[in-house]
Structure 1
Amino acid sequence: MKAQRTRSQDRILNLLKTMNRAVSAQDIYVELRSRDQSMGLATVYRSLEALKLEGVVQVRTLASGESLYSSVQQDKHHLTCLQCGDSIPINECPVHNLETQLQQSHSFKIFYHTLEFFGLCDRCSIAPVASENS
Structure 2
Amino acid sequence: MNNKTLKSAELKQTKKRILILSVLEKASSALTAEEIAEITSQDIKMSISTIYRALNALAEKNVVTKTLYQDGKTYYEINNHTHKHTLICTLCNEKVPINTCPLEALEDHLSQETGYTITGHSLEFFGVCPKCSIVKDEK
Normalised by the length of structure 2, the TM-score is: 0.70
What are the Cα deviations for residues 89-123 of structure 1, in whole angstroms up to 9, with x where unaligned? Answer: 21223335628x75xx4357x4x643111223334
Contact 1:60 1:114 (C-alpha < 8 Å) held by counterparts:
no
2:12 is paired with a residue whose SS is: coil
Q: 1:119 to 1:10 in 2, by over 3 A?
A: same
Say yes or no: does 1:114 pair with 2:109: no
Deviation at 1:63, TM superposition (A): 1.3
Q: 1:124 to 1:20 in 2, by over 3 A?
A: closer
1:5 is paired with a residue whose SS is: coil
**Distance in 2 between residues matched to 1:77 and 1:18, nearest whole Å:** 20
Say yes or no: does 1:78 pair with 2:89: no
Deviation at 1:86, TM superposition (A): 2.8
Deviation at 1:124, TM superposition (A): 4.6
Contact 2:92 2:132 (C-alpha < 8 Å) held by counterparts:
yes
2:50 is paired with a residue whose SS is: helix
Q: Which runs of 5+ in 2 are unaligned?
A: 1-7
Across the aligned residues of Structure 1 and Structure 2, the Cα RMSD in angstroms comes to 2.9
Give the match for residue 45 of structure 1. 52
Determine which of 5, 10, 20 is the counterpart of 1:12.
Answer: 20
Paired residue total: 125
Q: Which runs of 5+ in 1 are unaligned?
A: none
Say yes or no: does 1:88 pair with 2:96: yes
Identity across the alignment (%): 31
Normalised by the length of structure 1, the TM-score is: 0.72
Contact 2:9 2:63 (C-alpha < 8 Å) held by counterparts:
no
Higher percent of residues as helix: 2
More displaced stretch, 90-99 vs 21-30: 90-99
RCO higher in structure (CA 8 A, sep ≥6)? 1
Say yes or no: does 1:56 pair with 2:56: no
What are the Cα deviations for residues 50-74 of structure 1, in whole angstroms up to 9, with x where unaligned? Answer: 1011011012222111121110122
